[in-house]
Amino acid sequence: MEFQPKTAVVRNLPVSFINCLKEHAPLTPIDLDLAHRQHDEYVRTVASLVPNSVQLPADESLPDCCFIEDTAVVIGDLAAISFLGALERRGEERLVEKTLHELGVRTVAIEAPGTLDGGDVLFTGSHIVVGLSRRTNAEAAQQLAKIFPYPVVTVPVTGTLHLKSVLSSFDRKTILFGECEAARKIAKHLEPMLKEYKLQFLPDAIAANVLSMGANLVIQDGFPRSEVILQGLAKVAGKKIHKLQMSEFIKADGALTCCSLLF
Ligand code: CIR
């Protein structure tokens, strides 16, 4: 059965978002008004695709707090609460943990020396793939393996921020990869371990970050060559495509998956 989340949790962006962490200075600075409009559209779209959605307030002292995916890994009614890899982001998880409790989700904290960003975790429905990056380490992967009743597969992530900066699930049997050296290395490492999956490459690295929700597929606008392939896959799978502009979040190394927790 396809993954159809019942609940989405999103978090608003603060004015301090313009000072959020960035791997590289963007070519043009983040346009805060545009970021707000893009986030509003994101929240509207995601909320229209799940029965229950919760919108958390921004925290000015936490510029990256809209990237809520990193604060927890939620599978069904169980969550691992991140010990975030970046010092600047620690504290984002507190409101998320409280909210998940209120929603009836049982939470277990990842503990030091484990560090974890949810953007490094892909749950395929059968496996938990953990990217070992500058933010997420092997100790955290071991803790995830004890928390969740699914096999954990680890893969080194280099040359990109998070595992899901260059890949995401299209469905339970297909993983989308965005063309770049980082994704090639990840695919080469994962292929022998994940033989039952189709690894589908797209021409644009960031376009491989999609939200697949049952019969709906949310993709990023502005990547026409990747879109042609996604349209083809969606047609065969009977999925309806929704397009969102995420330019201001891409400047901050985010994309579609990072702005919600879906479960
Ligand atoms: C950071 O560097 O942590 C944020 N500026 C971007 C986080 C993006 N998160 C994600 O893709 N899961």
3-state SS assignment for residue 62: coil
- pTM recorded for the entire structure: 0.97
Q: What is the pLDDT of residue 55?
A: 98
Tens digits of residue pLDDT in 200-214: 999 999 999 999 999
Pocket lining for ligand 1, CB < 6 angstroms: 20-21, 64, 67, 69-70, 86, 89, 119, 161-162, 164-165, 252-254, 258
pLDDT band at 2 (very low <50, low <70, confident <90, very high): confident
Rounded-to-integer distance, Cα 214 and Cα 236, Å = 14
CA of 252 to the centre of ligand 1 (A): 7
CA of 257 to the centre of ligand 1 (A): 10
Sign of CA dihedral 189, 229, 35, 7: negative
Q: What is the pLDDT of residue 162?
A: 98
- Protein residue with its CA nearest to atom 3 in ligand 1: 21
CA of 67 to the centre of ligand 1 (A): 6
Q: What is the mean pLDDT of residues 81-98?
A: 98
